[in-house]
Amino acid sequence: MSQSTAKIGFVGVGRMGGNMARRLRDQQETLVALYDRDRTTATDLATELGCEAASTPARVAELADIIFTVVSDDAAMRRIFSQTDPESLLLHAKGRLFINCATLLPEVHVSVETLVTQRGAGASKPAWPAASHRPAKAHSTSCAADDRMCSSQ
């Protein structure tokens, strides 16, 4: 895997987001900032990875080209993409790419995608097409840390 020149940030660095950030750092990607509502978690991981523990989601978007959002639920996603909060990711959305890795209602994905594209940013598509409900059965793929061993369910 070749290293990119993109500056990467994370909003939400609990178990999943933190391990994703570690994996990218292991692959020599450039992590510039991360944010978590738990400041201790953010500070500890930022120290480990050698990047900034941002005080707001907006600061992550200010520093990064690509922002992974790994938040806990629909309400958290709406908060970090608030149209009225000066700490929102939307403050510095123009020209950024947002990759959502949270399990959200499809309408929340669509709403966030609309907000960021209106501000000149890109957004990853949800894993399933927009619908009024979550899929009854989801397909998942698990991979080992070195990407050589994967299993699907």
Distance of CA 152 to the CA centre of its chain: 23
CB atoms within 10 A of CB 48: 12
Coil/strand/helix, residue 124: coil
For residue 103, the model assigns a pLDDT of 85
Name the more confident of 43 and 132.
43
Name the more confident of 134 and 103.
103
For residue 64, the model assigns a pLDDT of 98
Distance CA 39, CA 45 (A): 10
For residue 66, the model assigns a pLDDT of 97
- Mean pLDDT confidence for 100-129: 86
- Mean pLDDT confidence for 32-45: 98
Count how many residues are written for the chain.
153
Q: Are 41 and 15 in contact (CB under 8 A)?
A: no
Distance CA 71, CA 101 (A): 8
Q: Are 84 and 90 in contact (CB under 8 A)?
A: no
Distance CA 4, CA 136 (A): 37
Coil/strand/helix, residue 79: helix
- Mean pLDDT confidence for 38-50: 98
For residue 148, the model assigns a pLDDT of 36
**What's the one-letter identity of residue 105?**
L
List the domains of the chain with CATH numbers.
7-152 (3.40.50.720)
For residue 16, the model assigns a pLDDT of 95
- State how far the alpha carbon of 119 is from the alpha carbons of 94, 95, 97, 99, in Å: 5, 8, 11, 15
pLDDT reading at 83 higher than 50: yes
- Mean pLDDT confidence for 68-94: 96
- Mean pLDDT confidence for 44-49: 98
Residue 117 φ/ψ region, left for φ over 0, alpha for ψ in the -120 to 50 degree band, beta for the rest: alpha
The model's confidence at residue 13, banded by pLDDT at 50, 70 and 90, is very high
